[in-house]
Amino acid sequence: MVEKTIELTGTSANSIEDAVNIAVSRAAVTIQNLRRVHVKSIDATIENGSVGLWRVAIDLSFAVTDRLHE
């Protein structure tokens, strides 16, 4: 098996987990065979003294499949 890895950034006003899920679910619309996600970094913007927006950078891996009969 061969996997390809791409880097994506997800953002959410709710939580870190939500930011990861947003990035993965958006990728799942156009990429098949998603396999794993690795959170590379987490940061947040501060608005009026509190966290306004969570931002996560992720590596998303998916299986590369052979298409012999297209």
> CATH code for 2-64?
3.30.1660.10
pLDDT at 69 over 60: no
Global pTM? 0.86
pLDDT in tens, 5-35: 999 999 999 999 999 999 999 999 999 999 9
Q: What is the pLDDT of residue 1?
A: 83
pLDDT in tens, 49-67: 999 999 999 999 999 987 6
Locate the domains of the chain by residue range.
2-64
Q: What is the pLDDT of residue 65?
A: 83
- N- to C-terminal Cα separation, the chain: 20
d(CA 47, CA 6): 30
Q: How far are the Cα atoms of 10, 14, 42, 45, 64 from residue 34, in angstroms, in the given order? A: 16, 24, 21, 29, 10
Q: What is the pLDDT of residue 66?
A: 73
Q: What is the pLDDT of residue 50?
A: 95
Residue 10 backbone phi and psi in degrees, to 5: -115, 145
CB-based contact 60:5 (threshold 8 Å)? yes
